[in-house]
Amino acid sequence: MSSTVLTRTLTAVLGAALAVSVLTPAATADPPDTAPGQTEPHGWELADQIRKEVKPPRIPQRPFDVTDYGADPTGQADSTEAIADAIDAAAEQGGGKVVVPAGEFHTGAIHLRSNIELHVSDGATVRFSQDPDDYLPAVKTRWEGVELYNYSPFIYAHGAEDVAITGGGTLDGQADDEHWWPWKEESNGDGGVIETEHRDQLFQWAADGVPVEQRRFEDSKLRPNFVQFYESENILVEDVTLTNSPMWMIHPVLSENVTVDGVTLDSPVGPNSDGVNPESSKNVVIKNSSFDNGDDCIAIKSGRNEDGRRIGVPSENIVIHDNTMADGHGGVTIGSEMSGDVYNVFAEDNVMDSENLDRALRIKTNSVRGGTVEQVYFRDNDIPQIGGEVIRINFQYEEGDAGEHTPTVRDIRIENVHSTGGAFGLYLLGYEQSPISDVTIRDSTFADVDTPMELEHVRNLRLENVGINGERYDEVIDVGASG
Q: Of 16-25, 107-116, 303-312, 315-324, give the lowest mean pLDDT range.
A: 16-25
CA–CA separation, 226 and 243 (whole Å)? 9
Asked if pLDDT for residue 481 goes beyond 90, the answer is no
In contact, 50 and 24? CB cutoff 8 Å: no
pLDDT on residue 178: 98
- Does 256 score more than 80 pLDDT? yes
> pLDDT tens for residues 55-75?
999 999 999 999 999 999 999
pLDDT tens profile 188-216: 999 999 999 999 999 999 999 999 999 99
DSSP of 221-237: -PPPPSEEEES-EEEEE
Per the model's pLDDT, the better-predicted residue between 5 and 423 turns out to be 423
Q: pTM of the prediction? A: 0.92
Query: What's the pLDDT band for 35 if we cut at 50, 70, 90?
Result: very low
Amino acid (one-letter) located at 301: K
Q: Average pLDDT, stretch 73-99?
A: 98
Q: For residue 418, is pLDDT > 50?
A: yes
Task: Give the model's pLDDT for residue 482.
Answer: 62
Angle at 20 between CA 335 and CA 438, to 5 degrees: 45
- List the one residue out of 362, 361, 363 whose CA is nearest residue 341: 363
Q: What is the pLDDT of residue 37?
A: 54
Number of neighbouring beta carbons within 10 Å of residue 142: 27
Task: Compute the average pLDDT of residues 133-140.
Answer: 98
| Residue 356: partners with Cβ closer than 8 Å, 6 or more residues away | 268, 326, 327, 328, 387
Residue whose C-alpha is closest to residue 367's, from 333, 329, 394: 394
Residue 90's H or E segment, with its range, is: helix 80-92
How many CA atoms lie within 13 Å of 57's alpha carbon, on the beta-carbon side?
30
Inform me whether the pLDDT recorded for 26 exceeds 70: no
Report the SS3 class of residue 213.
helix
- Please tell me the predicted confidence (pLDDT) of residue 460: 98
Q: Which of 262, 229, 228 is nearest to 247 (CA)?
A: 228
pLDDT of residue 403 exceeding 90, the answer is yes
The whole-number average pLDDT for the span 409-422 is 98
Does 132 have pLDDT greater than 60? Answer: yes
5 pLDDT tier (thresholds 50, 70, 90): very low
